[in-house]
C-alpha cells in the first residue's frame, strides 16, 4: 500500500481514502486511468489483415507480422482477468500461427 501511495501525485491520494487494501486501490486506479484502446486495437487488426510480404524477405515479413501481433496481444491481454487470460492466450497461439500463414 505504501508503494502505491508513494508513487502517485498527492492530489490523487485523497481519492484513495475509502480503499483499505492495496488491491482495492489498484483496482480503482486501473478503472479510472485505463485507456480505451479500441481504436488502436482496430488499427492493428486492420494492419494485420492487410499485411503482405511484397518485396520483404520471409524473415522481415515474419518479424513485421510478429511485432504487430505482439502489440495486439498486449492490448487484448491487459483487459482480461487472471482466470480468462490463459484461455485467450491458448486461442491466440493458434490464431496467430494461422494468421501468419
- Please give the C-alpha separations between residue 86 and each of 8, 62, 68, 92, in angstroms, as whole numbers: 31, 24, 20, 10
Q: Which residues contact 37 (CB under 8 A, 6 or more apart)?
A: 75, 78
Q: What is the pTM of this model?
A: 0.53
The model's pLDDT over 8-30, given as tens digits with 9 standing for 90+, comes to 888 788 888 888 898 998 888 88
Mean pLDDT over the full length of the chain: 83
Contact 65, 54 (CB under 8 A): no
Joined together, the cell numbers standing for residue 83 give 482466470
Amino acid at each position: 500500500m505504501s508503494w502505491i501511495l508513494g508513487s502517485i501525485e498527492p492530489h490523487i491520494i485523497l481519492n484513495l481514502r475509502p480503499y483499505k487494501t492495496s488491491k482495492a486501490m489498484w483496482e480503482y486506479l486501473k478503472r479510472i486511468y485505463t485507456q480505451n484502446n479500441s481504436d488502436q486495437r482496430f488499427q492493428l487488426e486492420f494492419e494485420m489483415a492487410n499485411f503482405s510480404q511484397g518485396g520483404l524477405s520471409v524473415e522481415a515479413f515474419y518479424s513485421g507480422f510478429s511485432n504487430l501481433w505482439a502489440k495486439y496481444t498486449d492490448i487484448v491481454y491487459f483487459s482480461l482477468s487472471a482466470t480468462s487470460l490463459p484461455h485467450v492466450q491458448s486461442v491466440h497461439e493458434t490464431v496467430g500461427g494461422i494468421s501468419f500463414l
